[in-house]
Amino acid sequence: MLATKPYIRENAVAYARKFAFSQNPNFANFAGIGGNCTNFVSQCIYAGGCVMNYKPTFGWYYISLDDRSPSWSGVEFFYNFITTNADVGPFGRVITADELEIGDVIQLARENEGYYHTLLVVGFDGEDPLVAAQTDNAYARPLSTYDYDYNRYIKILGIRFESSEGYDCFERLMVE
C-alpha cells in the first residue's frame, strides 16, 4: 500500500551544501560522460525523501554506475519521471517562478539543443533563485548568471513509499 510523506527540503539543501564542490563517494561522477548535474540533483532529492523507485528503465534509482535508471542522471528522463510518477519515489509538477521553494528544481534549455542542465534551488536573492549544481560546481549561484534561452521550474510535491518502508537515509548519506 502506498503512503505519502513530505519531501524534507532542508535535507536536500543541506546535502547540496555539503557536496556541491565535492563528490559523495557513494555515487559515480558523470562529469566526463555527459555531465553530473542531474545525478547531483537526484542525490539531493534522495536526501530529502530517502525513497528510490527500482523499476527498470522507468524508475528512479541508483545502485552503481552500471545499474541506475535513465531518470537518475538524464535531464529529460528526470523530468519525465518526476512529473508523471504515480508510484514510489518523489513526484512533482511544473510550476511558475513565484511558486519556487528551496529544494525545487530548475532545468535550463537552449534553443538549438533543448534542456541540458538541472539545478537545485537552495535560496533566493530577492526574486532571483540561488541554485546548487555540479559539472560546473556551484552553491548559492544566482540563476541570473546562467546563459540559457528558456527554463522550466519543477516543484517536488512529496515522496510516495510502501507503507512498510518508512526509513530515513539522510544521516547515512551525510557520512563520507
Q: What does the H/E/C string look like for 55-115? A: CCCCCECEEECCEECHHHHCHHHHHHHHHHCCCCEEEEEEECHHHCCCCCEEEEEECCCEE
Q: Is the pTM of this model over 0.85?
A: yes
Q: Running DSSP on this structure, what letter comes out for residue 136?
A: T
Q: Which helix or strand (DSSP H or E) is residue 47 part of?
A: helix 37-47
Nearest to 119 by CA among 99, 148, 90, 98: 148
For the stretch 41-82, pLDDT in tens is 999 999 999 999 999 889 999 999 999 999 999 999 999 999
Q: What is the largest CA-CA distance in the chain?
A: 46
Residue 165: the pLDDT is: 53
List, for the chain, all residue ranges whose pLDDT scores fall below the cut of 70.
164-168, 175-176
CA atoms within 13 A on the CB side of 89: 24
Residue 55: the pLDDT is: 96
